[in-house]
Amino acid sequence: MKVIIMGCGRLGAQIAAELDRRGHDVTIIDVNNAAFRRLPSTFGGTKAVGNGMDSETLRRAGIESADAFIAVTQGDNRNYFASQLAREVFGVRRVLCRIYDPQRAELFRSLGIETYSPTSVGAEIMVGMLLGEGGAQG
Amino acid sequence: MYIIIAGGGKVGYYLAEELLRSKNEVLVIEIDPQRAAMLSEQLAGDVLHGDACEAATLDAAGISRADLVAAVTGDDEDNLVICEIARLKGNARTIARVNNPRNEELFKRRGIETTISATQAILSQIEQELPVAEVIPLLQLSSGLQLIELRLSERSPVVGRSVREVLLPPESLICLVVDPGGVPRIPSGDTRLNAGDALVVVTRAESIEMLREAVVGTAHGMDT
């Protein structure tokens, strides 16, 4: 599967490394060249410097032939914008995006983007840990 | 009309002033507390301090009864999100300021009306200074029609003719004739066209080349 990841923070780098290890074709984009230091030395995918909200950057990263796009920058609105660009303009089939704001995550999901909110998921896990209800243990 | 303006920068401020002048009910949402305080001192309309990208802020602004939402922040991603949430939360017409002209396509695909960005406006202003641009795009209408400006040079085949004699493509209309002195006229069939006139024409995108040939002439300077 050909995957393009926008944002090489901790989450982006870890997703990229894991998909690469499993033999997928990964391209990771970040505005800051220094962000790629988070990738392991074994990473065999492509690193592209640029803004993932720009259609030219996405095109250069090969979005036209991508099977999936993952937006994991720190900005909820940036992630949503790039996700819609990938879906609406480039017709990428699977578009995943991280949205910190749980309310926005839900709204964007209703607009066709697969969203994940670490706030909702994290809160649920930590409440479960504290009250001993969930199976998740630190 | 009840109009919500998201973003109280220069664009939002002047827009609010104009809309208040024409007797609309206006509320400006501004994220920066100091800027919001300044706006509420200077504007006759309401100012709400908050993040317009959050549904709760739009709810507090009364999105359910708004007739129009104008998202005019300096960030295209924020303007997109504001319009999307506004549409989910109410029935207001949504208009977005697009800062990067490349982003216009995405807004169109999402069904959100856009304004010509300042960047685009400056670009077309520069184009107007260049003698080669005889066809200048002015505005894209939501109906798919376009507003364009045509400049008549001496070699234009329609110079010396009346408006009635100009063969226009279907669904095209000469709305305005501006003479070289800058005086605008609404043309009748008898209005005579002169070199140096600018015509404001409404037409379809696919007819622009036909119009150029009929009104501006070919690039090779034919005798008229």
Per-residue DSSP letters for A92-115?
A: -SEEEEE-SSHHHHHHHHHTT-EE
Query: Which of A80, A88, A89 lies at the smallest CB-CB distance from B81?
Result: A80
Complex confidence, ipTM: 0.85
Contact B96, B102 (CB under 8 A): no
Q: Domain residues for A48? A: 2-131
Are A104 and B53 a contacting pair at CB < 8 A?
yes
* B46-49: strand order across its sheet: B46-49, B25-30, B2-6, B68-71, B93-97, B113-115
Are B85 and A104 a contacting pair at CB < 8 A?
yes
- Give chain B positions within 8 Å (CB) of A108: 84
Q: What is the pLDDT of residue B145?
A: 86
Q: Evaluate whether residue A138 is within a structural domain.
A: no
Among A85, A90, A92, the strongest candidate for a mutation testing the B interface, having the largest count of B CBs within 10 A, is: A85
Domain count of the fold of chain A: 1
Phi, psi of A94 (to 5 degrees): -110, 125
Smallest CA–CA distance, residue A42 to chain B, in Å, is 34
Q: Is the confidence at residue A7, as pLDDT, over 90?
A: yes
Q: Evaluate whether residue A14 is within a structural domain.
A: yes
Q: What pLDDT, in 10s, does the model give residues B55-82?
A: 999 999 999 999 999 999 999 999 999 9
Query: Which of A81, A103, A104 lies at the smallest CB-CB distance from B76?
Result: A81
Q: What pLDDT, in 10s, does the model give residues B111-168?
A: 898 876 666 666 666 555 554 447 787 887 777 788 888 888 888 888 889 998 888 8
Looking up residue A71, the CATH number of its domain turns out to be: 3.40.50.720
Backbone Cα Rg of chain B: 21
Write down the pTM of the prediction: 0.69
Compute the mean pLDDT over every residue in chain B, rounded to the nearest whole number. Answer: 86
The pLDDT-based confidence of A134 (bands split at 50, 70, 90) is: low
Smallest CA–CA distance, residue A20 to chain B, in Å, is 30
Q: Is the confidence at residue B18, as pLDDT, over 90?
A: no
Query: Which of B85, B105, B110 lies at the smallest CB-CB distance from A107?
Result: B85
**CB within 8 Å of chain A, chain B residues 61-80:** 75-78, 80
Separation in Å, CA A77 to CA A33, A106, B92: 22, 13, 21
* Domains parsed from chain B with CATH numbers: 2-116 (3.40.50.720), 130-216 (3.30.70.1450)
Residues in chain A, total: 138
- Give chain A positions within 8 Å (CB) of B56: 103
Residue ranges in chain B assigned as alpha helix (H) = 10-21, 33-42, 55-60, 76-89, 104-109, 118-129, 208-211
Q: Evaluate whether residue A137 is within a structural domain.
A: no
Q: Evaluate whether residue A82 is within a structural domain.
A: yes
Q: What is the pLDDT of residue B122?
A: 64
Contact status of B51 with chain A (Cβ, < 8 Å): no
Q: Evaluate whether residue A136 is within a structural domain.
A: no
Instruction: Give the mean model confidence (pLDDT) for residues B91-96.
Output: 91
Q: What is the pLDDT of residue B114?
A: 80
Q: Evaluate whether residue A77 is within a structural domain.
A: yes
CA gap B62, B191 in Å, rounded: 50
Q: What pLDDT, in 10s, does the model give residues A27-37?
A: 999 999 999 99
